[in-house]
Amino acid sequence: MTDPFLVLVESNTSGTGPLFARRARDLGVRPVLLAEDPGRYGYARAEEIDVVEADTSSAESVLDAVASLDAGPTAGVTTSSDYFVPVAAEAARALGLPGPDPIATIRCRHKGHQRAALAARGVPVAAQTLVTDADAALHAVRRTGLPAVLKPADGSGSTGVRLCASLAEAAEHAAVLLTRTHNERGIPTVPGLLVEEYVDGPEFSVEVFGDTPVTVVGKHLGAAPYFVETGHDVPAPVPDGTARSLAGTAVAAVEALGLGHGAAHVELRLAARGPVVIEVNPRLAGGMIPELVRAALGIDLVAAQVGAALGHRPDLTARSAHHSSLRFLVVDEPSVLGDPPAALADPPPHVTAAVLTGSRGVPLAPRHDHRDRVGHAVATAPDASTAALAADTALSLLRASLRARTVPEDTA
């Protein structure tokens, strides 16, 4: 094997995971996926992607794995997984390949350090305190005020994030977070938790590439006290002035953190005082947002991200001016997922996808994070309201596949 190859350090198991490999091939390089557990990646077998079992816990181990490959020149190193961005960045830097600043990505992964860096540069952020014990957590809640948000210091996908309305709720959730030593992928977590000011207002993200704001995304969230994302609208249906304000704040955050290579997914809330940064992720957005951007604007962010890892200049030119909406099918009670309803054999106008992604016929229970999403409906239309209505309509049909199940009292 002598063709140039792109090293993928682990991956998302769906969504942008397989898209990274496809875009690499489109750009003339061979994707090679390094994975500690190759069995996680069913898409790799289906798409005949080379998967190499390797220790991906550090840049040193990734470099050892790359050196042992019987392959051609290494053209780039990257990842689609939030958890492995610092490792991929450090490996790329060691090989003299393009990539983000490893120190900046490490700073971003720790939400407390990230928030401190943003505040130091005058970027509007929610007040936040990093604590490492239960007494300090309650003290921080009293100082911050109720309701307060408690979250892991380095989590992703809303895992472990909860809005606490009382000191009792805060104490209970702090105890849960302080016992966590590994995340849902088995990776060791940063000790401690964050107590954060609750910023009231609609939620958005700005998809930034380098120092260019590509689009503003409108977010839909499930019921409190959790923060499960249940849908997206691209572009967000907001006035131009609001979009410019959100985008300007997001770019200021990216610059303050020393990023600027490739994608950054910046989450904000629009408070009465203006845009407030919740967090910056030095990666592409999840939740199929890159595909919504491609459908609405004709901008392929996945191709741009893969190209950036190969040293290419991104093409961020909008080729269309449509609107795309996505709505997730979310498990909010003990359920079983069945087959898609027959009504979706002929989907409503403007609907481009209505699919089930969860496991069929097995007991499902809410985890109150991204893992509760077991299907989605997508629509693209000339205007925002038509796209949103079509996605909502398709989701209502898709819900027929999710059946409630009875849980015995002693196991509830």
Q: Is-catalytic flag, 283?
A: yes
DSSP string across 204-265: EEEEEETTEEEEEEEEEE-STT---EEEEEES-S--HHHHHHHHHHHHHHHHHTT--SSEEE
CA-nearest of 17, 78, 44, 3 to 307 is 78
Asked if 341 and 330 touch (Cβ cutoff 8 Å), the reply is no
Kindly state the tokens that stand for 396: 């209502």
Token pair 């704040």: residue: 249
Find the catalytic residue in 107, 269, 283, 327: 283
Asked if 65 and 52 touch (Cβ cutoff 8 Å), the reply is yes
CA–CA distance, 391 with 294 (Å, rounded to integer): 17
End-to-end CA distance of the chain: 53
Kindly state the tokens that stand for 117: 């860096």
Q: φ and ψ at 31, to 5 degrees?
A: -75, 135
CA–CA distance, 383 with 260 (Å, rounded to integer): 31
CA-nearest of 385, 382, 405, 402 to 393 is 385
Kindly state the tokens that stand for 35: 């994975």
Asked if 285 and 205 touch (Cβ cutoff 8 Å), the reply is yes
Catalytic residues: 283
